[in-house]
Amino acid sequence: MAIEIERKFLVTNDSWRSLARGISYKQGYILTQDKLTTIRVRIIGNEAYLTIKSKSEGLSRNEFEYPIPFDDAEIILTTLCNGPLIEKFRYKINQGDLIWEIDEFQGENEGLIIAEIELEKEDQVIDLPNWIGQEVSYDPRYYNVNLAKHPYQSW
């Protein structure tokens, strides 16, 4: 079992763009009975994954991720996931031992750019690059699962 500890921030400028190249992501969510557990199917480039995440406790939650056949992922995304799908480009930037992931959303979430960083512990101190803005870690509107239900362009 893996525990994900993650902080999210809005991105304030484009100075990060020269530091990384993006890869295309497409993902969708399967509705769960308790609406607290997240089941996600994701295509990254030409690879596909099934991910199950528990409810967040602070900045932490359990996360289980498994590779699945690409063709299965495409079928699941088009037949089992509630729309709209999340479409984005993800960029990764190394900062010491940590990796920033910048998501530039497309489709119905176009205009939104979020930077995430996974931590080893919730109280870990991090240096914020100059392109980092307001923290949105505790604002559920910015969770990908909620962006699929209530896209950014509809706010």
- Catalytic positions, written as ranges: 29
> What is the DSSP track for 58-89?
TTEEEEEEEEE-HHHHHHHHHHTSEEEEEEEE
CA distances from 150 to 92, 104, 141, 142 (A): 26, 17, 8, 10
Find the angle CA(7)-CA(10)-CA(13) to the nearest 5 degrees.
Answer: 135
Rounded Cα distance between 114 and 135, Å, is: 10
Instruction: Check residue 31 and report its DSSP letter.
Output: -
Q: Alpha carbon 116 to chain centroid distance? A: 8
